[in-house]
Structure 1
């Protein structure tokens, strides 16, 4: 993709969500992206040196790009992130690190599984967001339909990779 993914420089037909609805919607996804990126980074770091760590590190880089694309979309529609809400999401993700999965020290296989499940849910939510924006692009010239199509496809690929990692973690977590 060239330029800012999901954003066009032209204005067609009309802008959707006459009031602040679109900005509010985007901000909600941005808040999720803040926490999601932190979780991806933590998961990748915890698995450094393992094949799953390499996959998660690559996905974390892509999620950072996705968050930048979302931020560019927000700018294109005149929305700004709610900084206190984004900060609360960041703090919440950090606080979730206190969960030990039943162990006093270290990581448990169950924690790894739950972490992958949370990452998968986040990516699925992101895909839903891209799909919503793609539908809006039919009526809002500020949104680039082709770039949003690419973002949907990338989210689908990310989800498929997480499903595979989660399936492998299932065996370790539940001894199946």
Structure 2
């Protein structure tokens, strides 16, 4: 497998994790202040994953189904983490999930920027509208940080 294929498939794996985690977080927090925003974030993350798949196709890189499955399973396994509530969801879970999304968003944003840089040498990538996607991803990352701070304040303000 080429370095390019490894790089793109690694980012496809984390993009898959981001979509799954955003869906999980939205399902758990849909009634709270982050609910509507998380629904939009999941749609944007899905579009970014689709864009990555498009770029991979244009570059002749096949998706590694094993890595995608590993990412999907890893996100599911991450749900088993105990956060102080056995029968009910703990507010700490909100923080942990938002922090995970923050890390994944930063990773995805780096991949989008790398793809944009690669377009200078790869005509196949022209027309992907990466600047607009990067701008949305950066704005989402800022909003995600605001949501994380608010969730931490709600969950940790009392012992």
RMSD, matched Cα:
1.6
| One of 63, 72, 76 as aligned partner of 2:54 | 72
Q: Distance in 1 between matches of 2:7 and 2:131?
A: 19
Structure 1 runs of 4+ with >3 Å offset? none
Q: Distance in 2 between matches of 1:174 and 1:87?
A: 34
| One of 133, 138, 141 as aligned partner of 1:159 | 141
Describe how 1:24-103 pairs up with structure 2 within 5 A: 24-103=6-85
- Structure number with the higher helix fraction is 2
**C-alpha spacing 1:22/1:118, structure 2 compared with 1 (3 Å):** same
Deviation at 1:145, TM superposition (A): 6.9
TM-score (norm 2): 0.93
Conserved 8 A contact 2:29-2:94: no
Structure 2 unpaired stretches of 5+: none
Larger Rg belongs to: 1
Deviation at 1:103, TM superposition (A): 2.2
Q: Which residue of 2 aligns with 1:6?
A: none
How many residue pairs get matched? Answer: 158
Deviates more, 1:97-106 or 1:38-47: 97-106
Describe how 1:91-170 pairs up with structure 2 within 5 A: 91-144=73-126, 147-170=129-152
Deviation at 1:111, TM superposition (A): 1.4
Deviation at 1:48, TM superposition (A): 1.7
Deviation at 1:146, TM superposition (A): 6.6
TM-score (norm 1): 0.84
